[in-house]
Structure 1
Amino acid sequence: MKCKNHRDEEARFICDKCKMPICEQCSTELRGNKVCINCVDHAVYAERDRAKKIGFWNKFIFFIFACIPGAAHMQMGLFKRGMQLMLTFFGAIVLISYANVESFIPLAIIPTWFFSFFDAYNSRKKQLVGEVVEDIEAYNYEFIVSNKKTLGLVLVLFGFIGFLNAIDSTFSLFGYNVDRFYWAAKRAIIPLVFVISGLTLLAKLKKAEKEINESTEN
């Protein structure tokens, strides 16, 4: 049996797509199946043509979803990545607001928004040409956990600034009277939690380093 493209070559495989005999030169492996290069080219060009035919409304709807961090990813079936980006974006806004450090909101949400927006379009482009896009996390939580010292310092810094903002803004607006102490204390709870958490984390790290040094000396 001869190859369908090379009549002087013996066929070694049968294309799983078109079921025609093909030689070694004309064959390629795709997801564990032997297919001919003609079928591969046809599939690629078909996907490109389909991508070009996407209507205006589909593009517009995708743009709207892409403007909401994580939403476009979930629309494409990338739920893990999309949920992480959405929680990071909106969680940062809520957490920073409660910590009374609203001036830091742009530093947290602007990079997240741009990353989510362009990552969504990049993933969509890959899907339209037939590439498999894995639903993986945008960032690894281990990176945060492994940098405990930096995390502790950030918590202390944010908490301290938030505490000062809570006290200053409360008394600046309402004056120094007993009735305002409750309001100031209420606004200062989250910043104080940040400070205590950061100091606790740093203290544990220092204790662990001390124990390691003592064991090394012994």
Structure 2
Amino acid sequence: MIKKSRLAAFILSFIPGGGHFYLGFPVRGIVFFISTFVDVVFSFGLAVAVQDEDPLVLLIALPFIWLWAALDSIYLADRINRSVEAGLTQSSEAIPSVHHDEYRKKQNTKAIAMFLSVVPGAGHMYLGFQKQGFQLMLMFFTCIFLVDWLRTSLFMVFLPAIWFYGMFDAMYKASGEEVDQNKDVMMISWFNGNASWMKDKSKLLGYLLVFLGSALILARIVFPIIDREISWEIRGYLQNGIIALLFILGGIKLLTGSKGNSAGGKGESGL
């Protein structure tokens, strides 16, 4: 085994995966390269499908993929060089070799899981977390369906959150930590938890559905009518006024509900 240049690994990583090919980790290199390719194709393909530029926000993943590939290649170059130095100056067992079969198998498993997580949930299924993978995949593609069907960008805000959560959660699980395979993903567990603020989860879900329905009516029915019938100066005031009024009413409802609950709690304690 010979030493590897950190600078060469970094420069070659300007094409994600190039540094890993140089270091002798072709599987990891292919994963980083295909992840970049899939992100670009998926983002532009979704934008064409819905005839909107909003899905291009998913391209924000590209700098993260590039940075991760560059830092990972530098880290592996350091591990290789330390292994070579340990072999020259002391016993070969002093620093575990990055080319050890068990180490490479673990790293390749993590890389494959990360690559599959380009489609949220696929990486979890590969690692054996079938339930969590199904939940993530269902949430992700449901948001895409709603964006396309309703022709609104309202649900676009959930796509990057689900995508990044699936990516980093798969990386954590692939590291070998002991995790319950039957556990729900974080977003689902919020509604299945025993926390005090989630005891009335059906009411919270109802508020969420009312908010989403109201937002869709405003975005797809009310605002288009305002655009046609009213001048642009008055239109801006009305749109901002309607949104502000909804927030005020929602806040008043929450405040009055909280006061009612606290009064009820005091009455019960007095008894």
TM-score with structure 2 setting the length: 0.39
The structure with more helix, counted as a fraction of residues: 2
The structure with more strand, counted as a fraction of residues: 1
Larger C-alpha radius of gyration, 1 or 2? 1
TM-score with structure 1 setting the length: 0.47
